[in-house]
């Protein structure tokens, strides 16, 4: 039997898809690309925006149209957040949520065996539920491994459905995480990315914390680099920053979630910090890791209900002030049953798109400025693959690098002299 996966959304989703793929393989399935045709098609959905929901439905329709005899599966955040809507999607033979992932295989088998024509198996998240273990042992590029350490979010931002889609905060045991890191190191992975729905919440429910986890992860033999997923600035304490800065293996690249450069808009979003508080945390990170030795990236939502042109301009000014290395720009997407969906002053789609374009231009200019600063420097690069006669990899600050080499550099951490910039890729010479 052949199974095909389609993943939308964050690194956590990508990690979970990989774990599901391993689960299917362990039970006799072969994982294939969409073009190769399959008996089972699984979309692991994202519901952060309505565009994500649309893409899930579109992919299911195409899969069912082109493979009418195949079993189609909709899983993940979309059905968990909107179970009634998802259950009605005719093109989905199996509909499951973001929990109890191990049951997907059983649900699929029921349809394959003719026991059921449609299975809807969406289980509500419960207070006090435990972290669901979905261990991963291998990843596509065999250089960087994504390790899920936490699930759920206890925040109630006005625009967000993720707490409904993912449930409450629940941390994976440190013992389980470290065991997985040892397996990954033994398999040849030298870089790991700690991912989560709310990474700074790690350990809040178990009496530990993220800094302690990073310290212990760094002690795993064979792991040379540790990266962190997205961080909420207000949840990073001074002690956290001090302890993280003392871990040499931790990559000094931080995705510090912003959403708006206007304190008024942040209040409307129900984000628990002001722009000044955000700037203070960014400054502390730069002081702890070194002004020239830290990169900060972020997310920005434009066109939030009530956002004026003046407040949007405040955001653009604040982005420059923070000197971000890179940014993800999103036009606000109205999600049903969220406080923001009912707010007055909904911004016209045309205005949202225009602001997103202007913010993206600013982001592009700032990324070029940041990358240009590296030209002329020598830095270690972890190379991943060869494309077009050039080996490609990333620096500790997650700058993309391309360099020629006659030898195989896959999974090699080597010094590179950076000599130029082409687009958003640094060009260099291997030393």
Which of 97, 121, 145 is at the close of a domain? Answer: 121
- State the total domains in the chain: 3
89 and 167 share a domain?
no
Residues 66-103 pLDDT 10s: 999 999 999 999 999 999 999 999 999 999 999 888 89
77 and 183 share a domain?
no
Q: Is residue 299 part of a domain?
A: no
Q: Domain containing 97 — which CATH number?
A: 3.40.50.12160
Q: Is residue 133 part of a domain?
A: yes
Give the per-residue pLDDT at 302: 98
The answer to whether 185 touches 223, Cβ cutoff 8 Å, is: yes
Which of 205, 222, 251 is at the close of a domain? Answer: 251
Q: Is residue 10 part of a domain?
A: yes
pTM of this prediction? 0.93
Q: Which residues contact 406 (CB under 8 A, 6 or more apart)?
A: none
Give the per-residue pLDDT at 92: 97
DSSP string, 220-240: STT--EEEE-EE-GGG--HHH
Residue 396: Cβ-neighbour burial (10 angstroms; 0-12, 13-18, 19+): buried
Mean pLDDT of 33-48: 95
- pLDDT confidence bin for 135, thresholds 50/70/90: confident
3-state per-residue secondary structure call for 44-58:
EECCCCHHHHHHHHH
- Of the chain, the percentage scoring pLDDT greater than 70 comes to 99
Separation of alpha carbons 13 and 44, rounded Å: 7
Q: Is residue 51 part of a domain?
A: yes
Mean pLDDT of 369-390: 96
Which of 205, 230, 251 is at the close of a domain? Answer: 251
Give the per-residue pLDDT at 279: 98
139 and 97 share a domain?
no
Give the per-residue pLDDT at 140: 59
91 and 200 share a domain?
no
DSSP state of 250: B
Chain-centroid distance, C-alpha 283? 24
Q: Is residue 219 part of a domain?
A: yes
Domain that holds residue 417: 378-430
Mean pLDDT of 24-41: 94
Q: Domain containing 214 — which CATH number?
A: 3.30.750.210
159 and 175 share a domain?
yes
Mean pLDDT of 261-286: 98
68 and 23 share a domain?
yes
Give the per-residue pLDDT at 176: 96
The answer to whether 193 touches 181, Cβ cutoff 8 Å, is: no
Residues 197-246 pLDDT 10s: 999 999 999 999 999 999 999 999 999 999 999 999 999 999 999 999 99
Give the per-residue pLDDT at 139: 66
């Amino acid at each position: 039997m052949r199974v095909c996966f389609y993943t939308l959304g964050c690194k956590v989703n990508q990690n979970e898809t990989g774990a599901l793929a391993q689960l299917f393989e362990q039970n006799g399935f072969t994982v294939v690309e969409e073009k190769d045709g399959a008996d089972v098609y699984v979309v692991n959905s994202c519901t952060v925006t309505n565009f994500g929901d649309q893409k899930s439905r579109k992919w299911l329709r195409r899969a069912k149209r082109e493979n009418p005899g195949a079993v189609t599966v909709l899983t993940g955040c979309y059905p968990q957040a909107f179970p009634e809507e998802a259950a009605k999607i005719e093109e989905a033979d199996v509909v499951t949520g973001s929990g109890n992932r191990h049951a997907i295989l059983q649900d699929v088998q029921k349809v394959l065996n003719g026991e059921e024509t449609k299975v809807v198996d969406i289980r509500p998240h419960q207070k006090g539920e435990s972290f669901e273990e979905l261990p991963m042992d291998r990843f596509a590029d065999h250089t960087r491994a994504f390790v899920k350490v936490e699930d759920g979010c206890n925040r109630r931002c006005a625009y967000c459905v993720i707490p409904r889609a993912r449930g409450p905060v629940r941390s994976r045991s440190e013992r389980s995480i470290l065991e997985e890191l040892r397996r990954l190191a033994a398999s040849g992975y030298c870089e790991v990315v700690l991912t989560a729905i709310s990474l700074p919440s790690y350990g809040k429910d178990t009496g530990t914390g993220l800094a302690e986890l990073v310290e212990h992860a760094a002690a795993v033999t064979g792991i040379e680099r540790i990266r962190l997923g997205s961080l909420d600035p207000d949840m990073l304490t001074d002690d956290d920053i001090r302890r993280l800065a003392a871990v040499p293996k931790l990559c000094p690249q931080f995705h510090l979630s912003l959403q708006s450069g206007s304190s008024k808009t942040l209040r409307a979003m129900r984000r628990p910090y002001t722009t000044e508080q955000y700037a203070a945390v960014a400054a502390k990170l730069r002081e702890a890791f070194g002004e020239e030795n830290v990169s900060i990236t972020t997310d920005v939502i434009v066109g939030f209900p009530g956002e004026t042109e003046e407040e949007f301009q405040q955001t653009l000014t604040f982005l420059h002030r923070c000197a971000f290395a890179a940014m993800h720009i999103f036009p606000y997407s109205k999600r049903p049953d969220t406080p923001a969906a009912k707010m007055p002053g909904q911004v016209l789609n045309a205005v949202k798109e225009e602001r997103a374009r202007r913010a993206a231009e600013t982001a592009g200019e700032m990324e070029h400025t940041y990358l240009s600063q590296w030209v002329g420097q020598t830095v270690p690069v972890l190379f991943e693959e060869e494309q077009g006669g050039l080996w490609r990899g990333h620096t500790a600050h997650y700058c993309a690098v391309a360099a020629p080499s006659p030898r195989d550099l896959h999974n090699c951490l080597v010094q590179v002299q950076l000599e130029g910039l082409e687009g958003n890729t640094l060009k260099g010479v291997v030393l």
